[in-house]
Structure formats: structure tokens, C-alpha cells
Amino acid sequence: MKIEKLTDNKIRIIFNIDDLTKKNIDIHSLIQNTDGTQKFFKKILKQAQKEVNFDVQDSKLLIEAFISNDGFFILTFTKIANEIQNKKASIPKVKRKDYDLSSKYAIYQFDNFNEFCNFCTYLNNTKLGNLKKFAKKISLYEYNSKYFLVFADIDTEFKNSSLVYVSICEFAKLASNSSCFSSRLLEYGKPIYKNNAIQNGINFAETNIH
């Protein structure tokens, strides 16, 4: 089990499915509203508080879960702004999220610029860094009031590719794996960062967001 703090209000917990099986933990049982499920959540949240200082006391929680295509079960806990005394955590619906590890292009949509900055800040606090080794060109465009991060000429042999895709899914959604969409952004979108978008986002966040 690996616990990562994405923001002050969100953590991600990554389980190897094989490890869960060895511990006789059934993934499907985790999506049922049972005392066992609540005890399991309380146990890992207690560990999260100890490891990454994620305190959920009196907070309402949104829980999301998905199974990656490379054998990981991932839980995301998000504290909701409105606090509710003694509110139990909701039970997640498990989804499978697949990503194309062979694609040379990946374009992700952020709802706003702050979410992009949150992603950059998260990367800066991990071994992934600015992702220069992941893609030769990384651009950011504003288009239809959304922000699109374009990874071009991706190194498909990059050893942490799966971790990159899993990480960004917590902040944005996949818009396209096509270079055609990239061309549309180039023609109709507003360029925010034409290259080195992650490093520029890191620099912006460090200067402007506290």
C-alpha cells in the first residue's frame, strides 16, 4: 500500500491487487456498505493521518475508486468543503480506467488553471518532476474555457509511464490520444505555455499559490 497526498484535501492510496488477494481482501466487498468496509477505511485513513497528516475528523468524504489496466486498485479520498459531524464515508463505485501506453500523444483536460497548478505542485513533490523525460514537448492551451495539457512525442519506454497516467487522472480527464486534436488546439486555442508547461506551472505555483 502506498499513500500519496495530492492536495491538502485529497489523498490517493494505491494497492497492488495481488497483495490484496494475498491478504484475503476482496475488492468487491469494499464497495458494499458493511461494518467491515467502514473499519477498513478507518484503518487506512488513520494510517494516512500518521504518514501524510491527512486529518478527516468531522469531514464529509468523497471516495472514488478504480482499477488500472496494469493491476492496481486505487482509492482517492477527498474532503468536501461542508463539514458534517460524524458523517460516514460514502461507498465508492469501482471503475476500470485504461490508458494507451503505446500512444505518442496524450491530451488531458483540466477544468481550470488552478487544477493544472495543483497537478504541477503534486509532480514537483514526487520523483516524477517536470516530466521532460516522459515527453519531448509538453504544452498548455486554453480552449472553450478549459485548459488542455498536450504531451507530444511521448517516450513509450519511460519506466514511470503508468504512474504518470494514474497521477494525472486525479486532476484531469483524458481528452484525446490523437495528434489531430492537438492541431485543433494549435489553430483555435490560446497558448498558455508552448513548451515546458509542467516546469512553467511549477514555477507559477511556487510564486503565486501558497
CB 152 within 8 A of CB 159: no
Q: What is the predicted pLDDT for the residue at 146? A: 94
Domain boundaries, the chain: 2-97, 105-208
Q: Give residue 36's identity as a one-letter amino acid code.
A: G
Q: What is the predicted pLDDT for the residue at 23? A: 67
CA distances from 184 to 14, 150, 195 (A): 35, 12, 17
Q: What is the predicted pLDDT for the residue at 7? A: 87
Q: What is the predicted pLDDT for the residue at 44? A: 86
Domain topology for 105-208: Alpha-Beta Plaits (3.30.70)
pTM of the predicted model as reported, rounded to 2 decimal places? 0.63
Q: What is the predicted pLDDT for the residue at 86? A: 44
pLDDT tens digits in sequence order for the chain, 210 residues long = 888 888 888 898 888 767 676 666 766 666 566 677 778 888 888 899 999 998 887 778 888 877 765 667 788 888 886 544 444 445 455 454 556 667 888 999 999 999 999 999 988 888 788 899 999 999 999 999 999 999 999 998 888 887 788 888 888 888 888 888 888 899 999 999 999 999 999 999 888 755
Distance CA(198)–CA(119), nearest Å, equals 9
What is the dihedral sign for C-alpha 17, 25, 23, 54? positive
